[in-house]
Amino acid sequence: MGKAKVDPEVKALLESLARRGIPPVHTLTPQEARKTRNPLFVELGGTPEQVHGVEDRSIPGPSGEIPIRIYIPSGKGRFPVLVYFHGGGWVIGDLSTHDSLCRALARRTPCVVVSVDYRLAPEHKFPAAVEDAFAATQWAMENAEGMSGDPRRIAVGGDSAGGNLAAVVCLLARDKGTLSPAFQMLIYPVTDLSTLNTNTYREHGEGYILTRQSMEYYRGHYLRVPQDATDPYASPLLAPDLRGLPPAYVVAAEVDVLADEVHAYARRLQEAGVKVLYRSYGGMIHPFVSFLGVLNRAKEAVEEAASVLGAALGG
């Protein structure tokens, strides 16, 4: 299970999951993976907190309607807005798997959270998820006032594949010259699909929830052709120029195959003159932030993320 020292709560969680005999994701069809993984993430997310208002609706997308869930915190005035993209390797995950996390962020920042149910692979391969994420962000900017939000204070964020989409949305907004988010919150984002052979892939590639085999599985379902892996809108670390992007909060988990590429992206943003706050959580695995119901460090991470987001957007 690798050489890194995992947090005792993480060790207990991994042992508990092993006893349940849940099949590895790479042995399942995408449909089977969703049936096993999505309810598990809901369970490990803990009891959802109450927020002032929750609304499920659909918004226009590039290929039909995009389902979203809007969380509005208590209080008066215009709130900052976080457009959030869930993790799940672009294959699993939905509005329910990240409900507890989005509620916690809405309450603690406080901010309006717009959770986006973008199209999943392999039914909809790259760049479908990117197109939906970008469209949802532009919609939020144009409609912020209608949901108690401030259009001048809009951030994008996400975890894992969702962190990838948040980073790519910022690249696209810059490249297209459209309205741009004011901030990006990237929680252990996938930043380079061109290689799964970094030091942290070699060190943590087996025995944890996200493995090398599961990343190969997600990549294989997400991309149309292998050449897509070098497209900056799939692998933002490979973008030739990262100048002009919004300030970023970049979170890494120490015991994670993605840790090296997460750190590399934070470093490249800094080298490009982007203001970056980088945070690595020792002893944590991918995707620990979603496990609010069982990991105290997940609660700490959400508290810190909300604090950083609120300070960045004047929440």
- Residues labelled as active-site residues: 160, 256, 286
User: What distance in Å separates the CA atoms of residue 280 and residue 202, rounded to the nearest whole number?
Assistant: 19
Burial class from Cβ neighbours inside 10 Å (0-12, 13-18, 19+) for residue 11 reads middle
User: What distance in Å separates the CA atoms of residue 12 and residue 295, rounded to the nearest whole number?
Assistant: 10
Phi, psi of 6 (to 5 degrees): -85, 155
**∠ CA(91), CA(84), CA(86), 5° rounding?**
20
User: What distance in Å separates the CA atoms of residue 172 and residue 164, rounded to the nearest whole number?
Assistant: 12
What residues are paired with 157 via a beta bridge?
A: 84, 185
DSSP 36-53: HHHHHHHHHT-SPPP-SE
**∠ CA(163), CA(166), CA(169), 5° rounding?**
150
Sheet containing 64-72: order of strands: 53-61, 64-72, 112-116, 79-85, 149-159, 183-187, 248-255, 276-285
Helix axes 99-108, 296-313, angle to 10 degrees: 50
Rg value, the chain, Cα: 18
Phi, psi of 243 (to 5 degrees): -70, 150
Q: 13 to each of 20, 248, 273, 291, 297, how far by Cα in Å? A: 11, 30, 39, 10, 13
User: What distance in Å separates the CA atoms of residue 68 and residue 311, rounded to the nearest whole number?
Assistant: 25
User: What distance in Å separates the CA atoms of residue 211 and residue 247, rounded to the nearest whole number?
Assistant: 30
